[in-house]
Structure 1
């Protein structure tokens, strides 16, 4: 006969002893699962916030900020590495980048009905960039004139062979625009390679790139946060005077630091070095925006995520390379004194 207490449904099961190994393992696993779920929830919330912020920035600026940062980091690493360790690699990079820029603007102009010949344009890139880095300055200028003459002769011969009925004014305009491309892209870019040939030139290139990037980034961030007054709404609606002021302040600070720690010149000379670069970067940016507006396009291409085309990233750098070369001639003696 069984006792009544043995089958009592109300009897409580004894509590599991936490000192038992299997109980401790289950408790640890439960804590780990909870911690993992909490971490995943935090990551999901952070991702949603980042995506929402990026969406707001894209709505206002038309750029994917995080894609732009990724491309910028990769490009910056390639440029810095080649400048500091293998200068000839930087020259090859400059040659390739200038060639892509010329290809972009040539295709854009051709789409608008201009007769621009791609082959002589690319030949001009090779001639001008190569002469700037591997030959004497006199050869560099000779290469420019030879490249322009080649472009002119090619267009005249092509026009005579084509006989498409274009009037002389249009032919002359095609020639002028073709020569402008070679001056605007490879010749301005070649100024950086002329600077690179000088002793310590790689540091001056890094300094001017730092100042220009600081001006662009500072203007972007300041304009995004405080921009109210449009600088040139008919040319570039997104640019504001507040953004320009913020970019100028950031770039002057960057120039002073670069002068003191990179170029071996006084901090105030570094600020002087940066001041004209701020203006050249702004004018280059507005100049390319004016070209794109005249062509009826937003970007030269879509090759660089978050940036647009190659020329969309070179717009402020190209004219600044000439200014940097001039400022080097002016300020470099201060480093030797």
Structure 2
């Protein structure tokens, strides 16, 4: 009987070298396709980064991760938000302390970090009184630590430098720890976790609206010397997005009148914009582009949360007035 061929095209059974050659060729073909696909993705990402000014996929991933941790903590067990907030404020304090040290100001890291970690639980458990007392005690602690440092002969400083260092140390705590702790203080109130979550959603809406409107329609610069990419068209987009989000939050989350949502959206648009411009001004004075590079696509934690800091203070005031 004749042998049935395994390869109808050749009519003979393929040899081992033929099989290896075909497998090798197929593997190279797959690798070439993967390389080509990767090159197309990298080219698309490069164009998107050039247009938006940042690595957008990485920025979205980081934003989803941070937002998810905050969302889970506020919805499930609001005491967990104290932990999340403490971590975020801790990183902001480290970032700003490192940045001002690069600029020549000597702010002690250890007492700065300890103060940040102490203010957050004080605001949550002892409310405004604990927040203020621990903050003032922490600033005193940082100042005494710096004074003790210059007693070491190798670390002496002039009187003027010491005054600037003490002022900078106090500024770091007021700007990051104090302002940030207002969101913790708000969360600690009865039903305050929903106000805190609503505040964060509105601030995110401000950033998103400004980004989308500015990217597509931005022509007229708002503050070109401070933040060259910020435009009045972007500001209008941020206000519209914030007020829409505010109305939805007022009606369905905090159960207040719709007009309070409009008010929250309008006011938080102003505070978020001021927060963004303030951090841009700080970076401009320090001569840096980003506070840090810890968050791809965002820069640092302070770059991501700058709009939230002054907004937290106003949100707490609105809660006291209307809730």
Report the TM-score when normalising by structure 1. 0.82
Give the total of aligned pairs.
290
Q: Where in structure 2 are the equivalents of 1:60-139 lying within 5 Å?
A: 60-139=51-130
- After superposition, the Cα gap between the structure-2 partners of 1:272 and 1:103, relative to the gap in structure 1 and judged at 3 Å, is same
Q: Are 1:58 and 1:65, in contact at CA under 8 Å, matched by a contact in 2?
A: yes
Structure 1 residue 56, shift from structure 2 partner: 3.0
CA distance in 2, matches of 1:52, 1:254: 35
Structure 1 unaligned spans of 5+? 1-42, 333-337
CA distance in 1, matches of 2:74, 2:195: 10
Q: Are 2:149 and 2:155, in contact at CA under 8 Å, matched by a contact in 1?
A: no
Larger Cα-atom Rg: 1
- After superposition, the Cα gap between the structure-2 partners of 1:60 and 1:194, relative to the gap in structure 1 and judged at 3 Å, is same
State the match for 1:177 in structure 2. 168
Structure 2 unaligned spans of 5+? 1-33
CA distance in 1, matches of 2:117, 2:146: 18
> Which deviations, in whole Å up to 9, do the C-alpha atoms of 1:116-142 show, x marking residues without a partner?
100110111012111001224322211
> Which deviations, in whole Å up to 9, do the C-alpha atoms of 1:2-36 show, x marking residues without a partner?
xxxxxxxxxxxxxxxxxxxxxxxxxxxxxxxxxxx
Picking from 189, 193, 205, the partner of 1:198 is: 189
Picking from 239, 246, 251, the partner of 1:255 is: 246
Instruction: Point out the more displaced range, 53-62 or 146-155.
Output: 53-62
Instruction: Point out the more displaced range, 206-215 or 43-52.
Output: 43-52
- After superposition, the Cα gap between the structure-2 partners of 1:162 and 1:193, relative to the gap in structure 1 and judged at 3 Å, is farther
Q: Are 1:211 and 1:251, in contact at CA under 8 Å, matched by a contact in 2?
A: yes
Q: CA RMSD in A?
A: 2.0
Structure 1 residue 221, shift from structure 2 partner: 0.7
Q: Are 1:61 and 1:238, in contact at CA under 8 Å, matched by a contact in 2?
A: no
| Runs ≥4 residues deviating over 4 A | 43-53, 162-165
Report the TM-score when normalising by structure 2. 0.85
Q: Are 1:292 and 1:298, in contact at CA under 8 Å, matched by a contact in 2?
A: yes
